[in-house]
Amino acid sequence: MKAGLVKMQFPSCQTPEQPLGLYPLVNRAEDAALLFQNGITTLQIRIKDLQGEALRQELAATVRLAKTHKARLFINDYWQIAIELGAYGVHLGQEDLHTADAQALFQAGLRLGVSTHNPSEIENALPLQPSYLAIGPIFGTQSKQLDYPAVGLDNLSHWSRSLPMPVVAIGGIGLEQLGAVVRAGANGVAMIQGLQLHQADGAEHLHTLQTRFAENYQAWSKTPNDEKPFR
C-alpha cells in the first residue's frame, strides 16, 4: 500500500452483540438482494467478469441494496469505486496491498478487510490495523485450486485468540464444518459453495446456516476466555 500508514487503525465492523457472522461472497447484485432479504447482514461483492460502466453499475446497485437493508457490504478489490460509491468497506488481497491507497480509504471512513493465508501475510497486514483479517483456506475448497496449504482449526483457533482484530474464516466451510469453525473463534465465516443459494431449498438452508452460526457463537461468547481453545 502507499505510504502514510503509521499507526493507522481502520474502523471496527463488529461488536460482541453483532459479529460479522455468516459472510457470503457473491458476484451479482441480484444474489445480494436475495441474501439481504433472508437476513444476511454482512456480504462481499466480488466481480471478476465485468469492466467499465457495467462493473460500476453492478457495484452501485449492490451498495444501494446494502444501505437499504443496513448491511455491511465489502467490495472486493475496486477500492476507488468503493470510495466513490460510499460503500461500507473494501476487501483486499495481498497483491492489492501494494497498489491501493490506504490513506484515501481511511480518510473516507471505509472498513478494510485483508486476505491472509499464512503467518508472513498476517504480519504483512497487521501494520494497517484493518477492520478484520480473512484467514484461509481453513479446509480444502471447491471454488478454486488451492495455492496455499489448508490452515486447519488449530491455527484458526490460535490466530482468533491472539490477533487484535476479528478473524473471518474462509475456505471449504459448509454446514457440517460451521459449528467447529465458530467455536474456534471465527467472528465471521465466508462462504461461496456452502451457501447452496440457488438450490430448491436455498432459503431454508440459509436459515439453517444462520441458526448454526448464532447458536455456536452464543456458546463461544459465554465460555470464559481461559476455557476457550488456544491451540
**Tens digit of pLDDT for each residue in 100-155?**
999 999 999 999 999 999 999 999 999 999 999 999 999 986 656 667 899 999 99
Of 161, 164, 191, residue with least CA distance to 176: 191
Task: Kindly list the domain boundaries of the chain, sorted by start residue.
Answer: 21-223
Average pLDDT over residues 52-67: 99
Q: What nine digits make up the cell of 180?
A: 467447529
Q: What distance lies between CA 161 and its chain's CA centroid?
A: 17
- How confident is the model over 73-102, as a mean pLDDT? 97
| pLDDT of 3 above 50 | no
Q: Return the biggest CA–CA distance within the chain.
A: 52
Joined together, the cell numbers standing for residue 211 give: 441458526
* Contact status, residue 45 vs residue 64, Cβ threshold 8 Å: no
Q: Which residues contact 165 (CB under 8 A, 6 or more apart)?
A: 129, 130, 131, 132, 133
Say which range, 46-50, 80-84, 196-200, has the weakest mean pLDDT: 196-200
What average pLDDT score do residues 170-199 get? 96
pLDDT surpasses 70 at 2: no
List residues bridging with 25 in a β-sheet.
44
Residue 195 in grid coordinates: 451457501
Q: Among candidates 187, 124, 139, 140, which has minimal Cα distance to 161?
A: 187
Residue 10 · residue 106 · CB < 8 Å: yes
- The average pLDDT across 209-217 equals 98
Q: Taking the CA atoms of the chain, what radius of gyration do you get in angstroms?
A: 17
CA-CA distance, 44 to 78, in Å (whole number)?
A: 12
CATH class label, 21-223 = alpha beta
- From residue 159, give the alpha-carbon distance in Å to each of 87, 136, 166: 28, 11, 9
Q: Is the pLDDT of residue 158 over 90?
A: yes
Is it true that the peptide bond before 137 is cis, omega within 30 degrees of 0? yes
DSSP state of 15: -
What's the pTM value of the predicted model, to 2 decimals? 0.93
